[in-house]
Structure 1
Amino acid sequence: MNIDWAALGSVFGVSLAVTVALVGLFTLGIVGLSKREAAPSGAASTASTAGGPPVAARTGAYACFALCAAAVAYGIYLIVA
């Protein structure tokens, strides 16, 4: 049995990097959705400040989730093709 250690190390390194990147993107998405806008004192609660994330944070979170989904879809494509 002959093992190509360089190729095995390369696969390990790329797998580790992609895993850390995907977990980081997903974490950024969760953090973006959990950001709460501080309501000014005495201000009436409206739908936009009722505890939901600000628009920019929500958009960034959705972008992170979309990138995660694209990476997973590409991985599935590589496995099937």
Structure 2
Amino acid sequence: MNIDWHALGTVLAVTLLSTVGLVGVFTLGIVGLSRRDGGGAAAVGRTGAAYVCFAACAAAVAYGIYLIVG
């Protein structure tokens, strides 16, 4: 049995980077929603950015499911 170490390392690197990236974007969304101190344009912009972060996470998860199923 031969193991293609280069391919295994590539899969490991992509998995780690995408996981850290996805968790980071989700964390930005959580922080954006939790800092609602007062009203105004800054709070609305932060909320909108948080929803964009959550949409990006949902899109990444949907793409991963598409790759697994398709």
TM-score (norm 1): 0.80
Write 1 or 2 for the structure with the bigger share of helix.
2
Instruction: State yes or no: 1:67 paired with 2:56.
Output: yes
The structure number with the bigger radius of gyration is 1
Tell me, which stretches of 5 or more residues in structure 1 are unaligned?
A: 39-47
> For residue 44 of structure 1, what is the aligned residue in structure 2?
none
- Kindly report structure 1 stretches of 4+ aligned residues shifted beyond 4 Å: none
Figure out how many residues of one structure are paired with residues of the other and give that number.
Answer: 69
Q: What is the percentage of aligned positions where both structures have the same residue? A: 65
* AA in 1 matched with 2:31: V
Instruction: State yes or no: 1:79 paired with 2:64.
Output: no
Tell me, which stretches of 5 or more residues in structure 2 are unaligned?
A: none
**Distance in 2, Cα, partners of 1:33 & 1:26:** 11
**Distance in 2, Cα, partners of 1:36 & 1:55:** 9
